[in-house]
Structure 1
């Protein structure tokens, strides 16, 4: 009888451990989704404010951003209508075209907003990227 109870307790322990692990996994996914959603809304509002203050003119936007730098951990890259880099707040020598990026492709297809969570080649870390039209 003692061996039977130990086996039963061990079975319940494994079941509870499994339920706890699955719950923890889904809570982590939900938390990540909420953080990304909040960050997305924040960056959308901030980007729209920058665009409104600059009257949607890239040269005015670049001047304004240099006068009022973005927060640490944030980066702004100005692109023309075809995806060519006009300016970048992280690396001023950055140039070339970025039309192959998923967030740029979305905007070039006339969507108002392009989003992507992917590794940044420049920063060498995973970044949440938002692109406005």
Structure 2
């Protein structure tokens, strides 16, 4: 198995799947709790990068603020010049509070897909216990690209 395209990894991440293998419920054990590795392929959540959470926060900002800004533009375009500010602000404030909570796991798994594109996967990025249980099938099948 070779690395998938960015679009495929982002789509897998948006569905809370492992961007690498597509495994269901990959990293999250609950809505806010992450396990140390994918439960399907054994890919570690943290691959030695200290600033991973910063990228995930940036992804959260993009997937929350992007749609909110687009929706604001649409609302203003359809209601101009009689914009009802108070109801609009109530809806957008509520969305601004609820969306980050709802999209929290997706922002992390989508960022994992971007991270996989930027930093190639190495054999040490997999949990050894998982590889031993599977008989090293991930490595034998070419799941990890050569580090040439």
User: Quick check: TM above 0.5?
Assistant: no
Higher percent of residues as strand: 1
TM-score in terms of structure 2 length: 0.27
TM-score in terms of structure 1 length: 0.30
Task: For CA contacts below 8 A with separation 6 or more, give which structure has more relative contact order.
Answer: 2
